Amino acid sequence: MKPVFACRICAAPTGALLTATDRNRGIGDGGFDYRRCEACATVQLADVPDDLERYYAGNYHGTPTPEQLRERVDFESHKIELLSRHAAPGRLVEIGPSFGAFALAAREAGYDVTGIEMDAGCCEHLDQTIGVRAIRSSAAEDVLPTLPPSRVVAMWHVFEHLAHPLRVLEAAAANLEPGGVLAIAVPNPQSLGFALLGGRWAHLDAPRHLTLVPLRTLLHSARALGLVPVAMTLTDPFARHCNQFAWEYALRRRPAGGPSPFVVRGVSVVLERLLAPVEGRGLRGSAYTVLLQRPATNAVSPGGADG
């Protein structure tokens, strides 16, 4: 009798979807089996490698030069603008800040930033270069209950990497102060790119991306925790970069081989612009961002209202 792979999000049965290789980084020769939930449509890696850490080894995060860091901080301004419409400066926890471009942008905008990051080098960079508190941990669900209430908890393309995404979602919701906002950006498994490219879609990123959650499914889980969606976008600057990046990597035979040739980059930019009207509507873009707010008067609990 074949084993039943239960969905990480809703525990329903899952069905075989595709097998992908590590095209993005070229680590190892094996294939990775992804499945789709029959109930909530979440895409998930069936068997997480015991040695998953090695797929992050080497220059996964990279250390930017001061000039590169400043460029990336400036690029993060659209996230600050989106957040500031719903959450004034206050305590902000970023889960998975990497080398800290958003953390620095948030600090410069007046937020009191703490980062929860598993990479030791990134933690050192956050502390010594970015100037924010860094807590080294791969289990944000254990760290968040030890922190004071936050005005903002942010996960920018981190949720898909988590071993226990619902535990982290619950801990983040519980950490928010009344009126606080949880910001989540993730790859979109309902995208045009994934539908057309399958295992060649860059944002599948096997085996580092463990769980790709459709927007409807994420909203259902958030509402069960008492959180209310207040903003959503698939057309912000980073989402459009994700669209271009997906086409660029799909055009390459070996994306892990180094920087893309100029011609490939150029073609991918043209494709992104041509397809922008399609990817910008109907949940067809490669990534979405959603802001979820804890109501100012209602407590957050796992048994909260569903919607």
In the prediction, which pLDDT does 258 show?
A: 87
In the prediction, which pLDDT does 199 show?
A: 95
In the prediction, which pLDDT does 221 show?
A: 97
Quick check: 304 pLDDT over 60? no
- Residue 92's pLDDT band, with cuts at 50, 70 and 90, is very high
In the prediction, which pLDDT does 164 show?
A: 94
User: Hey, which bits of 86-215 come out as E strands?
Assistant: 91-95, 112-117, 133-136, 150-156, 176-187, 211-212
CA pair distance 90, 107, nearest whole angstrom: 10
Quick check: 300 pLDDT over 70? no
3-state secondary structure of 109: coil
pLDDT > 70 fraction of the chain, expressed in percent and rounded: 95
Kindly list the distances between the CA atom of residue 272 and the CA atoms of 98, 161, 260, 268, in Å, as whole numbers in the listed order: 26, 25, 16, 6
**Higher-scoring residue by pLDDT: 281, 237:** 237
pLDDT in tens, 12-40: 999 999 999 999 999 988 899 999 999 99
Q: How many helices (H) and strands (E) are present in the chain, helices listed first? A: 10, 11
pTM given for the model = 0.92
In the prediction, which pLDDT does 3 show?
A: 57
Residue 286 near residue 242 (C-beta atoms within 8 A) = yes
CA-based max dimension of the chain: 57
Quick check: 303 pLDDT over 60? no
In the prediction, which pLDDT does 2 show?
A: 52
Residues with Cβ within 8 Å of residue 287, at least 6 apart in sequence: 157, 185, 186, 187, 188, 191, 203, 234, 238, 239, 242, 243
In the prediction, which pLDDT does 307 show?
A: 30
Domains of the chain: 64-293 (3.40.50.150)
Quick check: 239 pLDDT over 80? yes
